[in-house]
């Protein structure tokens, strides 16, 4: 039955690919990515650019983070004066208060990049209370274009602020921001609204990408039935319910993703550990996509006719884990292949697993226990489907060995 598994995988891949490509057009046409960034909450299925360069450069998340990005090979320098008066800059990268300039770009002419980033961070639970002053300095010109447009993102204990500016003369130093560490606990009204908005965005993406999967699988099973006489039907009500469950999967998956973010932050704060961005990003995406995959598996199991195996939900959860890993791995590519890649992986994985799980269910149902004779021990079950000792499978009726 390998050919059926592969064909189902292709059906899932093509259906999700079509919707993913259409979704890309919608995202770019409506500037949804810009809106997502303005919410200051990461979305499970939408790349957030701000942390991408920091992650690639090996930076660490923390209670207070200051990130500087610009877009040419010139050398801009990020510096900060902490509440105790200590200055963190390229000449003194660590502060006695725990602050650290852990990413410093274009400092050497032998390692220039056109996508530079600098990053100052205080670990969770160690940032001193008080006022932080942030500065950007134009140190050296290495690019043919002397003018550098820069962006600064401040993470103030989970509250984000963004600033921008332009530097065109070497030696220029500008003050970007002065902020007081936010020590408030819990979610404010704006943060709750951002969480709900991101959850709804993830719900819409999941429902959109998987919308063609149920009718595609239904058509394929009618066109190429696995068993003789199989005539599955997909009603409009079942289809709408399935899409609603897909949306719920995205909504809950996004909440699980944000909860994983919060949990890792709190754990790191208690233990005073500096988690790497790579670990942080992979862990949160794996958890979010695992939850999404489990609910998608449950939805397909109960709503797509003939797919009632209890194995389906946990197996598709593994597809979600694989999708989460792949999404994290490709998330920060400048060409942003992440959303399309994860849609392909989910569609192909779900299509393949549906046939595989269904075969397991059919084989399990065909095995019946053999009667035990008190006088002769084990006896052959002549009337059973296998016609032999317990545990042996029935011979295949289909001559297809593929």
The pLDDT value recorded for residue 328 is: 73
pTM for the predicted model, two decimal places: 0.73
The pLDDT value recorded for residue 186 is: 61
CA dist 53 and 350 (Å) reads 32
Predicted confidence (pLDDT) per residue in 91-106, tens digit: 899 999 989 998 888 8
* Phi, psi (deg, nearest 5) at residue 245: -70, -35
Q: Are 36 and 201 in contact (CB under 8 A)?
A: yes
Report the 10 Å Cβ neighbour count for 232.
15
The structural domains of the chain, with segments of one domain joined by +, span 2-42+187-362, 64-180
The pLDDT value recorded for residue 47 is: 66
Predicted confidence (pLDDT) per residue in 247-291, tens digit: 999 999 999 999 998 888 778 777 767 777 778 888 888 889 888
Residues in the chain predicted with pLDDT less than 70, given as ranges, are 1, 33-34, 36-40, 47-52, 184-188, 225-230, 272, 303-309, 330-338, 358-402
The pLDDT value recorded for residue 375 is: 41
Residue matched to tokens 């902020």: 179
Q: What is the DSSP string of 203-272?
A: HHHHHHHHTTHHHHHHHHHHHS-SSTT------HHHHHHHHHHHHHHHHHHHHHHHHHHHHHHHHHHHHT
């Amino acid at each position: 039955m390998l050919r059926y598994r592969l064909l189902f995988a292709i059906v899932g891949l093509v259906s999700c690919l079509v919707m993913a490509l259409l979704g890309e057009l919608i995202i770019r046409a409506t500037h949804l990515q810009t809106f997502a960034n303005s919410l200051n909450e990461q979305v499970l299925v939408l790349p957030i650019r701000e942390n991408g360069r920091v992650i690639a450069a090996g930076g660490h998340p923390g209670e207070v983070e200051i990130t500087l990005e610009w877009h040419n090979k010139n050398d801009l320098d990020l510096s900060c004066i902490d509440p105790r008066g200590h200055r963190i800059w390229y000449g003194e990268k660590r502060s006695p208060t725990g602050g650290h300039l852990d990413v410093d770009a274009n400092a050497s002419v032998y390692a220039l990049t056109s996508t530079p980033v600098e990053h100052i961070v205080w670990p969770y639970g160690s940032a001193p209370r008080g006022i932080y002053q942030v500065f950007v300095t134009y140190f050296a010109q290495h690019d043919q274009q002397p003018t550098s447009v820069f962006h600064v993102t401040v993470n103030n204990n989970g509250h984000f602020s963004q600033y921008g500016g332009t530097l065109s003369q070497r030696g220029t130093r500008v003050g970007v921001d002065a902020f007081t560490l936010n020590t408030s606990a819990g979610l404010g009204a704006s943060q709750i609204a951002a969480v709900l908005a991101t959850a709804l965005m993830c719900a819409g993406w999941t429902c959109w990408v998987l919308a063609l999967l149920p009718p595609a699988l239904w058509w394929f099973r009618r066109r190429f039935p696995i068993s003789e006489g199989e005539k599955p039907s997909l009603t409009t009500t079942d289809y709408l319910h399935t899409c609603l469950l897909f949306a719920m999967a995205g909504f809950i998956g996004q909440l699980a993703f944000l909860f994983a973010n919060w949990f890792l932050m709190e754990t790191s704060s208690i233990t005073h550990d500096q988690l790497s961005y790579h670990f942080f990003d992979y862990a949160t995406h794996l958890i979010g996509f695992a939850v999404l995959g489990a609910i998608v598996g449950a939805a397909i199991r109960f709503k797509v006719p003939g797919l009632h195996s209890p194995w389906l939900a946990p197996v598709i959860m593994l597809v979600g884990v694989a999708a989460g890993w792949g999404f994290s791995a490709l998330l920060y590519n400048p060409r942003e292949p992440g959303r399309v890649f994860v849609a392909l992986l989910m569609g192909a994985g779900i299509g393949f697993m549906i046939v595989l799980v269904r075969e397991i269910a059919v084989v399990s149902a065909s095995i019946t226990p053999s009667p035990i004779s008190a006088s002769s021990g084990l006896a052959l079950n002549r009337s059973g489907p296998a016609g032999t000792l317990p545990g042996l499978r029935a011979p295949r009726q289909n001559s297809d060995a593929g």
